[in-house]
Structure 1
Amino acid sequence: MNQTITPSAGDVELCAQETLDTSRWTSKRRDFLRMLGYGAGAATLGPMLAACGSSNAQSTSEALRAQLVQDAGFWSGVQGMFVLNLAKTFMNIGTAGSMPSTVLDVFATQNRAKAVDCLNGYSNLLDLRKAAAPGFGVDADELAFSANTSSGMCHAILGIDWAPGDVVVTTNHEHGGGDTPLKIATDRYGIEVSRIAMPVGNNQTAATYVSLFDERIRALKAQGKRVRAMMWSSPTYKTGTMLPIADLMTVVKAHQLISIVDGAHLPGMMAYNYGDLGMDFMSGAGHKWQCGPGSTGILIVRNKIRASNPLPLPKWFPIHTSSYSQLERTTNGTETYDIAATITSCGSVHTPMFMSLVQACKMWDEIGRKKIETYDITLASYLKEKVAERWGVDALYSPKDDPKLLSALTSFNPFQNKADVMNSQKSSSFVARLAAEYPQGFVIRNSNFPVIGAAAEHYGVRVSTHLWHDATDVDLLVEAMWDLSKKMA
């Protein structure tokens, strides 16, 4: 689990190459690592799940466990890069991550250097953007640094040249970081917001979301409405459902819309190539799964025409900046100007924060973003199967069987009396007692959201699984949650 050592990059590489003696490991650890060896990411988990059938969680677990493990030593080394309190098990990365030791070192060193020489931060951080951009599949002019996801969503939404009557189609599971600028745009510019009621649970597929958005847009157009944009979260912070970006972009392009993605949990969790996906805006956090400092975010802005999205670039104005170009944006594959510089540059920025964020991004690139995604999603899939085995698949708010909808966030109803999930105080008590009454000190959270047909909002618990967790953590968590659910029945 969480170790106090801090191996060098060479140590980690050596660990990855070693053949380890696993004879004294627990069966749970061996089983999970067989899962990891299979590489149960979005591309590889699907065929196996389809073969198992979505109704039999146990057979799915057995299939996952049947694979050969190769990477045990590597992940043990990666876990040791963090300085986490060993008295607790932090499983709420969806709210805040943890800076690795080397990132903390950069932060401390650069803060001291800034103080020693009275350095200013008047910069658009081009060198840092150049270093980080390739890991996200874009160019430096398309990757801006923001203060956090909410900041990036404000940049994206409030910079668009809205007209009265423009309609934005979104969902009823959005975060305040996106909802707040939508409300401002509604009051200031007269836009309208149309919300799709989100399904929950395992009985949904990527095609579900394509149909929901496409049908809503067609219905609005039939009413004479001017639909201008689609906004959605991938994944939703409430249930962890990964709304399928590539699939939804087919709807965007078919209806010639602006695309805005609240991707708070994407950087550091998923290995997405944003140039290939082609959305107009993706706002993500630097301090969650990417494990950078607080007050850092990554905002991807489409700034040139690619095959992934041949639509014209939307008219957009900076709202928080020290620079402004009056040039019209490009109509071809070469940018007219560096739009990310305009967003990043606003007075004197705190450069050590973004130097540290880029150090974290460099670490992820060196480890391999796809490797991290596979680990995170596999571990979350293991947790979902365990939940389904104990509480039943209907307890899950997060889908588990369509690979396109998987994320490393798992949300479910932990209560023996299913109606208790509508009791906010009981849900909060469950989270607090899990941290206080069990020796592992599990740190998770709950979130409230509307459920179609429910008498009141549900307050499901949400678990984040990331680099410093392993199968033993999941097993112990499930046992603790099951025990607590019986105590609270």
Structure 2
Amino acid sequence: LGPLAACGGDSGGGGSGVAHAATKTGAMRTQLAQDTGFWNQVEAMFTLDPTKVFMNIGTAGSMPKEVLDYFDNESRQLARDSGNGYGNFLAQRQQIAPGFGVDPDELVMSYNTSAGMCVSILGIPWQRGDVVVTTNHEHGGGLTPLQIAIDRYGVEASYVKLPIGNNQSAGDYANLFEARIQQLRVQGKRVRAMMWSAPTYKTGTMLPIAELMEVVKRHGLISIVDGAHLPGMMAYNYAELGMDFMSGAGHKWQCGPGSTGILIVRNKVRTSNPTPLPPFFPVLSSGYPPTQPPGVKWAERATGSTATYDIAAVLQSTGSMNAPMFRSLAKACEVWDRIGRQKIETYDLALSSYLKEKIAERWGVDRLYSPKDDPKLLSALTSFNPFANAADVTNSQKSSQFVARLLSDYAPGFVIRNVNCPMDVAGSGVPDHWIVRISTHLWHDAADIDRLVDAMWDLSRKMG
């Protein structure tokens, strides 16, 4: 975050702590205001309803005007020509891949995060007794194909209980996974894979991919990342990170059309991850030959820096697809590359950090379910307990009312969402907490956050 990162430390509390917090948020606001003209131009690229402040990008983004126009023109051209959508969209994959730090044979334009997770998990030839270590904060998009693997192949899942709040560090996650793997192996279990969300959709905690990949490599595991919120938010180089599979959304922070996603499939061995490529078979494809290339079986994947075959081309070929939709996703990626992915990441996280500090200043840092002080754990999602009576966080109905009234009772209204946050593993009997989640993106500014915090504070007092 550059200068903003220098403003570290806790806020909240009384006396000098409050004064320090106010000074800190003031400095952060000044930093955010330095490039206002540029971000005003970016905001003007969208057609968002001015009577609302859209802060639920974690559920759905908004296509820029030029992408909307492009989508419309492509759709009309397809209709005029009675065209089809066959092919593997190589030109679009070549265009998009550099922005994500991978080669075209490693990038697939999928239908959404859930589709990519299904392709990833169900394409692995599991054996009965294989164990997947995952977390208690996963999304159904990953849990569903994992459950299919459990029911169909006899895979077992072991769930790590994730910490919440600000009192945590990136190293904690590596230790949690390492300890669980060691525990399972002492029991004679065959740990085969790690699956985690980065960030989690519940708290917005960015599970540290680099640190967790060290655990993966140390144990020779398959790595599966639910990165629903990564494309368009974070400027990650996926080849350097080295995960086997990363499935993300194209319609959230990347602001492409609905029903689009970005699926990264490691297709060669690099120094970033010298672990052999896992055996993998397409489960959704109309371009699957028995061997690829002739004489090479699918399980015989690359052992070096040169791919044996273009796995992305096979996964991308799924009959006649919606060509305008996928071409428009490529157009949205082009817009992001033009703005600058690193610039977007820096701005998104700066807004998020400002929001987290404002929440800590008003409610106290203990109300945050998202970490704020370890930069490796930051994302542009912020989750917290807004209620005057902290115990109301277990009241799902009140949480839903808070979200609804934030939109209906204020002008402009604020679009956020609530989410259930498990406080333990399933079956423990510990009730979920129903927290609110806010997304800060490139069409917001510090003034939007100030108004949001004031509205949430006011509403929390009105609701008692």
Letter in structure 2 aligned against 1:441: G
Alignment of 1:70-469 (within 5 A): 70-325=34-289, 326=291, 327=296, 328-452=300-424, 455-469=430-444
Deviation of the 1:48 alpha carbon: 3.6
Distance 1:356 1:305, change over 3 A: same
> Can you list the C-alpha shifts for 1:166-198, whole angstroms capped at 9, x where unaligned?
000000000000000000000000000000011
1:82 is paired with a residue whose SS is coil
Query: Whole-Å Cα distance in 1 between the matches of residues 92 and 163 of structure 2?
Result: 40
Deviation of the 1:63 alpha carbon: 4.5
Whether contact under 8 Å (1:45, 1:403) holds in the other structure is: no
Report what 1:473 is aligned to. 448
Structure 1 residues 459-468 or 446-455, which shifts more?
Answer: 446-455
Query: Whole-Å Cα distance in 2 between the matches of residues 314 and 447 of structure 1?
Result: 34
1:310 is paired with a residue whose SS is coil
Query: Whole-Å Cα distance in 2 between the matches of residues 439 and 324 of structure 1?
Result: 54
Distance 1:53 1:420, change over 3 A: closer
Query: Whole-Å Cα distance in 2 between the matches of residues 195 and 54 of structure 1?
Result: 33
Stretches of structure 2 lacking an aligned partner (at least 5 in a row): none
Query: Whole-Å Cα distance in 1 between the matches of residues 254 and 51 of structure 2?
Result: 23
TM-score (norm 2): 0.94
Letter in structure 2 aligned against 1:320: L
Whether contact under 8 Å (1:235, 1:241) holds in the other structure is: yes
Query: Whole-Å Cα distance in 2 between the matches of residues 142 and 68 of structure 1?
Result: 36
> Can you list the C-alpha shifts for 1:418-449, whole angstroms capped at 9, x where unaligned?
11110000000000011111011111000002
> Can you list the C-alpha shifts for 1:251-305, whole angstroms capped at 9, x where unaligned?
0001110000000000000000001000000000000000000010000000001
Query: Whole-Å Cα distance in 1 between the matches of residues 338 and 411 of structure 2?
Result: 34
Whether contact under 8 Å (1:54, 1:401) holds in the other structure is: no
- The answer on 1:482 being equivalent to 2:457 is yes
Query: Whole-Å Cα distance in 2 between the matches of residues 380 and 164 of structure 1?
Result: 43
Query: Whole-Å Cα distance in 1 between the matches of residues 345 and 73 of structure 2?
Result: 30
2:71 is paired with a residue whose SS is helix
Query: Whole-Å Cα distance in 1 between the matches of residues 429 and 347 of structure 2?
Result: 34
1:352 is paired with a residue whose SS is helix
Report what 2:8 is aligned to. 49
1:264 is paired with a residue whose SS is coil
Query: Whole-Å Cα distance in 2 between the matches of residues 234 and 259 of structure 1?
Result: 12
Whether contact under 8 Å (2:11, 2:365) holds in the other structure is: no
Whether contact under 8 Å (2:131, 2:156) holds in the other structure is: yes
> Can you list the C-alpha shifts for 1:46-83, whole angstroms capped at 9, x where unaligned?
44415x78985445324535659642211110010000
Letter in structure 2 aligned against 1:109: N
2:8 is paired with a residue whose SS is helix
What is the root-mean-square deviation of aligned Cα atoms in Å? 1.6
Query: Whole-Å Cα distance in 1 between the matches of residues 285 and 161 of structure 2?
Result: 36
Report what 1:29 is aligned to. none
Whether contact under 8 Å (2:113, 2:228) holds in the other structure is: yes
Whether contact under 8 Å (1:58, 1:385) holds in the other structure is: no
Query: Whole-Å Cα distance in 2 between the matches of residues 100 and 359 of structure 1?
Result: 10
Alignment of 1:26-37 (within 5 A): none
Deviation of the 1:100 alpha carbon: 0.3
Whether contact under 8 Å (2:12, 2:360) holds in the other structure is: no
Structure 1 residues 63-72 or 445-454, which shifts more?
Answer: 63-72
Whether contact under 8 Å (1:260, 1:280) holds in the other structure is: yes
Instruction: Report sequence identity in percent.
Output: 67
Query: Whole-Å Cα distance in 1 between the matches of residues 373 and 344 of structure 2?
Result: 20
Query: Whole-Å Cα distance in 1 between the matches of residues 101 and 177 of structure 2?
Result: 26
Query: Whole-Å Cα distance in 2 between the matches of residues 69 and 62 of structure 1?
Result: 11
Whether contact under 8 Å (1:258, 1:314) holds in the other structure is: yes
> Can you list the C-alpha shifts for 1:221-280, whole angstroms capped at 9, x where unaligned?
111100000000000001100000011100000111000000000000000000100000
Query: Whole-Å Cα distance in 1 between the matches of residues 238 and 343 of structure 2?
Result: 18
Distance 1:257 1:389, change over 3 A: same
Runs of 4+ in 1 over 6 A off after TM superposition: 52-55
Query: Whole-Å Cα distance in 2 between the matches of residues 63 and 83 of structure 1?
Result: 31
> Can you list the C-alpha shifts for 1:305-355, whole angstroms capped at 9, x where unaligned?
111000000000000101124332111100011101111110000000011
Whether contact under 8 Å (1:121, 1:347) holds in the other structure is: yes
